[in-house]
């Protein structure tokens, strides 16, 4: 890594290391490097967790969402207003409801467009990662879940964690954390190759 890029990365990591969530808790040390590189690659992260044995989720995850610019806020408010109009009981006849429903569908597409652009970008990076490395089991592989207004980066198998034995959960936590760390190193290498 060039000294300039190293400084940028170190400064970004330091900045995120000092951020706290709504409960005043800092970003987990085991995920802050991933959060930093994702932000350097243009992904606005909103929440994250390295995964824990004794509390929270027993797998690492990071939420990504678009920047809240005026256009995105306007799209969200428009969608909310049309949704409220649509669920207003008995306020419209069938033709008016159909028209509102069509407008709401278009408003939903407009609101979700920035999220889906982010999904396209990170899915491309995940694909490059799995093309370049050793084959992982499906459950260990990373993917993004679409949450409507945001995305969540996590391993496929994490959804099964609640039904596993404690020992299995802990073993899978280590696998999922290892996979997130390896993906992080791939992202850092990818970022290093980009022009500033």
List, for residues 34-59, the tens digit of each pLDDT value. 999 999 999 999 999 999 988 778 89
As given in the structure block, the two tokens for residue 118 are 């982010």
Average pLDDT of the residues in 12-27: 86
- Number of domain units in the chain: 1
Residue 192 CB neighbour total at 10 angstroms: 12
Output the DSSP codes for 94-158. Answer: HHHHHHHHHHHHHHHHHHHHHHHHHHHHHHHHHHHHHHHS----TTTSEEEEE-SS-EEEEEGGG
Nearest to 36 by CA among 57, 16, 20, 65: 16
- Band of pLDDT at residue 132, cut at 50, 70 and 90: confident
Q: Which residue has the higher pLDDT, 133 or 179?
A: 179
3-state secondary structure of 89: coil
Say whether pLDDT at 23 is over 80: no
Nearest to 178 by CA among 142, 130, 138, 126: 142
Q: Report the pLDDT value the prediction gives residue 148, as an integer from 0 to 100.
A: 81
- How far the first Cα of the chain sits from its last, in Å, is 12
Residue showing tokens 């980009």 = 194
**Can you give the residue range of the structural domain that contains 139?**
3-67+119-193
84 domain-assigned: no
89 domain-assigned: no
Q: Report the pLDDT value the prediction gives residue 16, as an integer from 0 to 100.
A: 93
105 domain-assigned: no
79 domain-assigned: no
13 domain-assigned: yes
Residue 85 CB neighbour total at 10 angstroms: 16
The model's pLDDT over 145-176, given as tens digits with 9 standing for 90+, comes to 998 889 999 999 999 988 999 899 999 999 99
22 domain-assigned: yes
Q: Report the pLDDT value the prediction gives residue 69, as an integer from 0 to 100.
A: 86
3-state secondary structure of 74: helix
Q: Report the pLDDT value the prediction gives residue 35, as an integer from 0 to 100.
A: 96
C-alpha 164/C-alpha 38 separation (Å) is 30
85 domain-assigned: no
Say whether pLDDT at 1 is over 90: no
- Band of pLDDT at residue 22, cut at 50, 70 and 90: low
Q: Report the pLDDT value the prediction gives residue 56, as an integer from 0 to 100.
A: 74
- Cβ–Cβ < 8 Å for 11, 32: no
96 domain-assigned: no
Q: Report the pLDDT value the prediction gives residue 144, as an integer from 0 to 100.
A: 96
The model's pLDDT over 79-121, given as tens digits with 9 standing for 90+, comes to 899 888 877 766 677 788 888 889 989 999 988 999 999 999 9
């Amino acid at each position: 890594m060039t000294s300039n890029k190293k400084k940028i990365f170190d400064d970004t990591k330091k900045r995120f290391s000092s951020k706290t969530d709504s409960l005043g808790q800092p970003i987990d040390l085991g995920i802050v490097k991933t959060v930093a590189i994702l932000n350097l690659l243009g992904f606005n992260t909103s929440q994250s967790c390295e995964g824990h044995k004794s509390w929270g989720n027993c797998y690492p995850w990071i939420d990504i969402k678009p920047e809240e610019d005026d256009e995105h806020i306007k799209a969200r408010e428009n969608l909310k207003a049309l949704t409220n109009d649509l669920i207003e009981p008995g306020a419209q006849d069938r033709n008016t409801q159909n028209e509102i429903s069509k407008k709401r569908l278009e408003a939903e597409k407009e609101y979700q467009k920035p999220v889906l652009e982010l999904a396209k970008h990170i899915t491309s990076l995940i694909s490059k990662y799995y093309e370049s490395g050793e084959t992982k089991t499906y459950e260990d592989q990373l993917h993004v879940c679409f949450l409507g207004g945001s995305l969540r980066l996590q391993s496929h198998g994490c959804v099964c964690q609640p039904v596993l034995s404690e020992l299995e959960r802990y073993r899978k936590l280590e696998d999922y954390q290892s996979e997130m760390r390896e993906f992080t190193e791939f992202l850092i290498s990818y970022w290093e190759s980009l022009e500033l």
